[in-house]
Structure 1
Amino acid sequence: MEPQHDRLKIKREIGLIGGISIVSGTMIGSGIFMSPQFILSYVGSPGASLLIWALSGLVAMLAALCYIELGTVFSESGGELIYVLRTYGSFPAFFSSLFWIVLSKPFGVAAMAISISKYAVAPFYLGCDPPELLIKSVAAGAILLVTIVNCLNVRLALRIQVVFLLAKVLALAVIVIGGMVAVAQDSRTIVDNLSIENSFVGTGTSLSTFGMAFYQGLWSYAGWYNLNMVTEELKRPEVNLPKAITIGVSLVTFLYLLVNVSYLSVMTPKELISSNAVAVTWGNKVLGSWGWIMSVAASLSAFGSLNGSLFSGGRLSFATARVGLFPEIFSMVNVRRLTPTPSLIFTTFISLIVLLSGDFETIVNYSSFLGWFFHAMTVSGVIYLRIKKPELPRPYKVFILLPVLVIIAAIYLVLAPILDNPQIEYFYVALALFSGIILYIPFIHYKVCPGLLTRLTVFLQLFLEVAPAEKNM
């Protein structure tokens, strides 16, 4: 182990604008272009679908406010890992980080890459589905490209995030304004969809379908927690973390509601549900021969979200390894570029495996229910720390009922779909996660370190030109 003064230190490169771009730039991605048809198909009516979008934004904001308090109490990178570790200890922290590293982040990266690919090839396959092999090949190429960018330079990755955020907001603004123009020209569709008499006609009552709809809605808001994973790279985190998250989540919620109203201003529920690429269908109706622009815009939007997700996801395994819950090699950064190269490569590798085996809807549904289990565990730490450690400095405090509301919402999201419509896939996902106890007992609890792992670490350290990094406090 090197002396402390010989260690590298990741720089604080992220300001307020960069923070907002990570939050909102990650949130605005594949969800708003892929999930509307799934949400509407689950709940059955336009009014109920808009309600799901609004409630999803509210739940995301409440959870984000709780994470802000935890992020200002514990200013280390790693997000949920650090909060659970400092609150409940290494055993639950290991399973939390294992879920995010092996399941959630790779599943998210794969789902975003699939949406990039679908929109990129959609203009070439009008009226029919593109080949599955082509979709997954383009998706894999997008993942590899983003990985290379993030391995090369932090500032380049942040510039890409800011630029793509502007492109996303512009694309959503085009949809919102286009919907207004369409309504001004012919208001019959929006009246049929959203009038008081029609908006909730056909709404389903199943707990399972509403839970699935929430999974899709909250998936579209996923990213509200990403800035917490890179706190050590954020300038003045006690100021910029609350500002960036509240501004980013509020902006995204407002835009999402307007965009969904715009979709419903030109498409019937049947047309929206049957669309393979809802933004392209909207573009063909409103923009005519220029409808292909929406395909490009949706692809760019999802690409920016993919970049932000991989940026934060790579830091998660880095932070997990640094506290001794993951192999040491993942706690190292490149000696010249100061990027967590081993962690980024690992996240990419798992994402490519997930990509080969799943489709968008399945990936979202079967990873979301465990995600909200760990969100609830993390948010409960706000209440626990208020009681057990009231002396901790808290630059930012939330009203104590907010974490209670988030925990109630999370319990519903975890249990409702399983109890109402049990499926063996939920068991498989949970079993895959908690089988990690086989790794925890020998390697973490008893600290067994095989000689082969030590030699492999030295080899990779030399091959990737990486070294341990000191914490920014």
Structure 2
Amino acid sequence: MENQPEGLKIKREIGLIGAISLVSGTMIGSGIFMSPQFVLSYVGSPGACLLVWALSGVVAMFAALCYTELGTIFTESGGEYIYILRTYGSFPAFFAAIHLIVLSKPFGLAAISISISEYALTPFFPGCAPPWMVVKCAAAGAILLVATVNCLNVRLAIRVQVVFLLAKVLSLSIIVIGGIVAVAQDSRIFMDNLRVENSFVGTETSVSTFGMAFYQGLWAFAGWYNLNFVTEELKRPEVNLPRAIVIGVSLVTVLYLLVNLSFLSVMTPSELISSNAVAVTWGNKVLGSWGWIMAVAAALSSFGSLNGSLFVTGRIIFVAAREGHLPDILSMAHVHRLTPSPSLIFTAAIALVVLMSGDFETIVNYASFAAWFFIGITVSGVIYLRIKKPDLPRPYKVFILLPVVAIAASIFFVLAPILDNPRLEYLYVALALLSGIIIYIPFIHYKLWPGLLTKLTMFLQLFLEVAPAQKNV
């Protein structure tokens, strides 16, 4: 170990355009093409559906601005993991790492890959859903392809992100413009869905159903936090972090509302809810024989989101290992490519395991349940640090009411699904997190690492051509 190279660092390769692409590109993905039917099915009316989408954008913006303040205080990569570590200490940070590495991020990658394969396969199975095994095999192929790109080159991964962001914005713009043309030609469906006296008819009023609707809506906004996970690779983070967050989240919120209005301009609520691929159903109605284009556009959009999400998740594992919460091999970077290839390979492996275990809706709901618990803890750090460490340098300072609203929203999202419809699966998620105590006490707190792990680390270093990387702050 003494002969390891000194000074190996991850480079700052991400400028403002790349940062906006990473934020917007990971937000615009599977969610807007998969979640609209689920949001509407939970709340029961077009008016309530649009309200959920608008409020989801507001909540995402508030939470993102809170993360921005923390990201300009702690300029290390790692996002909420590093913020909890620096604010509250090692023990809660370890559970944040377990949540991100075992639950939230792999579940997210699996859900996105499923949406890619479902849309990509739709033109080959007209009139019926693709076979589930075929869907999962194609999803696994997408994960492996993205992992390979990310392991090869950071710039290549970012270029993929920028290109696919342009493709996403173009495809969503087609949906928005198509909706406007459809309303101009025949506004009956649009008016029936959104007429004041009709738009909220049939709205579900239970706390649980609204909580589940927000899970699906906020899933489409998932990605607002991703830039915080790669701060060490961001040029001028004190300037580009807040700019990218505000521009990216605002752009996506407006696009999502317009896209949902477009869906409701050509589809009745029952048609939207029953659709397996809402963009394809919309395309068949508006574009006719060219409707297959929307299947391709949705698959490409989800692929860009998968690329950005895996890029970020690999960095979380990389940082957690560097802080001593995971094996050392995961904190290393390739000696020539300067990519955290061990953590990326590990991320892809976990995502493949999760992929085999569930469907899109189930994966999203359980991942969101745990995610908002830790988002609430992270955002509370803004208030805690304002009280305990008021003299910390803060290049960006958020209005104090925003973290209060974000914390209240987090509490609602955690409790809402289990208040009037408790399910054992949420207990299983909580137990999966708590099981981390079994690992933390002997291996992290007392550092009882077996000698076998040291030998395995040395072998993998040579095999993967990786070495320890220093912080880039």
TM-score by length of 1: 0.99
Q: Which residue of 2 aligns with 1:340?
A: 340
- The alignment partner of 1:448 has SS state of coil
Q: Distance in 1 between matches of 2:283 and 2:2?
A: 57
Compute the displacement of 1:372 (Å): 0.4
Instruction: Confirm or deny: 8 A CA contact 1:15 1:234 kept in the other structure.
Output: yes
Q: Which residue of 2 aligns with 1:240?
A: 240
Paired amino acid for 1:28: I
- The alignment partner of 2:467 has SS state of strand
Matched, 1:310 2:310: yes
Paired amino acid for 1:86: R
Instruction: Confirm or deny: 8 A CA contact 1:208 1:417 kept in the other structure.
Output: yes
1:267-292: CA deviation from partner (whole Å, max 9, x where unpaired): 00000000000000000000000000
Q: Distance in 1 between matches of 2:6 and 2:178?
A: 57
Q: Which residue of 1 aligns with 2:189?
A: 189
TM-score by length of 2: 0.99
Q: Distance in 2 between matches of 1:396 and 1:4?
A: 38
Instruction: Confirm or deny: 8 A CA contact 1:110 1:355 kept in the other structure.
Output: yes
Q: Which residue of 1 aligns with 2:16?
A: 16
Q: Which residue of 2 aligns with 1:320?
A: 320
- The alignment partner of 2:336 has SS state of coil
Compute the displacement of 1:124 (Å): 1.5
Q: Distance in 1 between matches of 2:171 and 2:2?
A: 49
Paired amino acid for 2:433: L
Q: Identity of counterpart residues, as a percentage?
A: 77
1:147-189: CA deviation from partner (whole Å, max 9, x where unpaired): 0000000000000000000000000000000000000000000
* Counterpart mapping for 1:54-453 below 5 A: 54-453=54-453
Paired amino acid for 2:80: E
Structure 1 outlier segments of 4+, above 6 Å? none
Instruction: Confirm or deny: 8 A CA contact 2:64 2:224 kept in the other structure.
Output: yes
Q: Distance in 1 between matches of 2:183 and 2:421?
A: 39
Q: Distance in 1 between matches of 2:36 and 2:301?
A: 16
1:335-376: CA deviation from partner (whole Å, max 9, x where unpaired): 010000010011100000000011000000011111100000
CA 1:15–1:40 in structure 2 vs 1: closer, same or farther (change >3 Å)?
same
- The alignment partner of 1:235 has SS state of coil
Instruction: Confirm or deny: 8 A CA contact 2:4 2:467 kept in the other structure.
Output: no
- The alignment partner of 2:224 has SS state of coil
Instruction: Confirm or deny: 8 A CA contact 1:372 1:414 kept in the other structure.
Output: yes
- The alignment partner of 1:357 has SS state of coil
- The alignment partner of 1:56 has SS state of helix
- The alignment partner of 1:467 has SS state of strand
Q: Distance in 1 between matches of 2:359 and 2:4?
A: 46
Q: Distance in 2 between matches of 1:150 and 1:326?
A: 21
Q: Distance in 2 between matches of 1:4 and 1:86?
A: 28
Q: Which residue of 2 aligns with 1:48?
A: 48
Q: Distance in 1 between matches of 2:90 and 2:327?
A: 15
Gaps of 5+ in 2: none
Paired amino acid for 1:227: L
Compute the displacement of 1:2 (Å): 5.0
Paired amino acid for 1:173: S
Compute the displacement of 1:39 (Å): 0.3
1:361-411: CA deviation from partner (whole Å, max 9, x where unpaired): 000001111110000000000000000001100000001111011000000
1:212-244: CA deviation from partner (whole Å, max 9, x where unpaired): 000000000000000000000000000000000
Compute the displacement of 1:3 (Å): 8.7
Q: Distance in 1 between matches of 2:330 and 2:423?
A: 35
Q: Distance in 1 between matches of 2:150 and 2:41?
A: 37
Paired amino acid for 2:192: D
Compute the displacement of 1:7 (Å): 2.9
Instruction: Confirm or deny: 8 A CA contact 1:4 1:470 kept in the other structure.
Output: no
Paired amino acid for 1:187: S
1:123-157: CA deviation from partner (whole Å, max 9, x where unpaired): 12122111001000000000000000000000000
Q: Distance in 1 between matches of 2:309 and 2:80?
A: 15
Instruction: Confirm or deny: 8 A CA contact 2:4 2:468 kept in the other structure.
Output: no
Instruction: Confirm or deny: 8 A CA contact 1:46 1:200 kept in the other structure.
Output: yes
Gaps of 5+ in 1: none
Instruction: Confirm or deny: 8 A CA contact 1:112 1:306 kept in the other structure.
Output: yes
Q: Distance in 1 between matches of 2:7 and 2:347?
A: 24
Task: Indicate the larger mover: 123-132 or 155-164.
Answer: 123-132
Instruction: Confirm or deny: 8 A CA contact 1:31 1:221 kept in the other structure.
Output: yes
- The alignment partner of 2:199 has SS state of coil
Q: Distance in 2 between matches of 1:27 and 1:4?
A: 38
Task: Indicate the larger mover: 123-132 or 395-404.
Answer: 123-132
Instruction: Confirm or deny: 8 A CA contact 1:212 1:417 kept in the other structure.
Output: yes
Query: How many residue pairs end up in the alignment?
Result: 473
Instruction: Confirm or deny: 8 A CA contact 1:7 1:467 kept in the other structure.
Output: no
- How large is the RMSD of aligned CA atoms in angstroms? 0.9
Task: Indicate the larger mover: 9-18 or 123-132.
Answer: 123-132
Instruction: Confirm or deny: 8 A CA contact 2:333 2:341 kept in the other structure.
Output: yes
Q: Distance in 2 between matches of 1:126 and 1:47?
A: 31
- The alignment partner of 2:196 has SS state of coil
Paired amino acid for 1:364: V
Q: Which residue of 2 aligns with 1:454?
A: 454
Q: Distance in 2 between matches of 1:147 and 1:397?
A: 36
- The alignment partner of 1:215 has SS state of helix
- The alignment partner of 1:9 has SS state of coil
Q: Distance in 1 between matches of 2:346 and 2:385?
A: 33
Q: Distance in 2 between matches of 1:2 and 1:242?
A: 40
